[in-house]
Structure 1
Amino acid sequence: MSDDIKQAFWKALDASPYVMVGLIGEREHHIPMNAQLDKDANSAWWFFTAADNRLAAGGPAMAQFAAKGHELFACISGTLRREESRDVLEKLWNNSVAAWYPGGKDDPKLVLLRFDLEDAEIWTADPGIKGLFKLAAGMTMKEGELGEHATVAL
Structure 2
Amino acid sequence: MTAQTIDTSKLWDMIGDIRFGMLTVRGADGRLYSRPMTTQNGEADHGGVSWFFMSRSGQPVADLTASPDVNVAYADPASERYVSVSGAGRLVEDPVKKQELWSTAAKAWFPGGVEDPDLALVAVLVAEAEYWDVKANKAVQIFKLAKAAQTGEEQANPGEHRRVRMR
- The two structures have a TM-score, normalised by structure 1, of 0.83
- How far residue 127 of structure 1 moved from its aligned partner, in angstroms, is 3.2
Name the residue aligned to 1:143: 156
Partner secondary structure for residue 128 of structure 2: strand
Summarize the Cα distance change of 1:141–1:9 in structure 2 as closer, same or farther, 3 Å threshold: farther
- Quote the sequence identity (%): 26
The question of whether the paired residues in 2 share the 8 Å contact of 1:101 and 1:107 is answered with yes
Name the residue aligned to 2:118: 109
User: 5 Å matches for 1:1-154?
Assistant: 3=6, 7-24=9-26, 26-41=30-45, 42-57=47-62, 58=64, 59-67=68-76, 69-127=78-136, 130-137=140-147, 138-139=149-150, 140-144=153-157, 146-154=158-166
Structure 1's consecutive aligned runs of 4 or more residues displaced over 3 angstroms after TM superposition are 6-9, 127-132, 136-143
Q: Greater shift after overlay, 76-85 or 133-142?
A: 133-142
- AA aligned to 2:54 is T
- How far residue 7 of structure 1 moved from its aligned partner, in angstroms, is 3.8
Structure 1 CA distance for aligned equivalents of residues 82 and 121 of structure 2: 25
- How far residue 74 of structure 1 moved from its aligned partner, in angstroms, is 1.5
Partner secondary structure for residue 121 of structure 2: strand
The question of whether the paired residues in 2 share the 8 Å contact of 1:47 and 1:112 is answered with yes
Gaps of 5+ in 1: none
- How far residue 141 of structure 1 moved from its aligned partner, in angstroms, is 4.2
The question of whether the paired residues in 2 share the 8 Å contact of 1:22 and 1:61 is answered with yes
Q: Greater shift after overlay, 12-21 or 126-135?
A: 126-135
- How far residue 17 of structure 1 moved from its aligned partner, in angstroms, is 2.9
Structure 2 CA distance for aligned equivalents of residues 127 and 135 of structure 1: 12
Partner secondary structure for residue 33 of structure 2: coil
Summarize the Cα distance change of 1:100–1:135 in structure 2 as closer, same or farther, 3 Å threshold: same
- How far residue 36 of structure 1 moved from its aligned partner, in angstroms, is 0.8
Structure 2 CA distance for aligned equivalents of residues 16 and 112 of structure 1: 20
Gaps of 5+ in 2: none
- How far residue 69 of structure 1 moved from its aligned partner, in angstroms, is 1.9
RMSD (Å), alpha carbons: 2.4
- How far residue 115 of structure 1 moved from its aligned partner, in angstroms, is 1.0
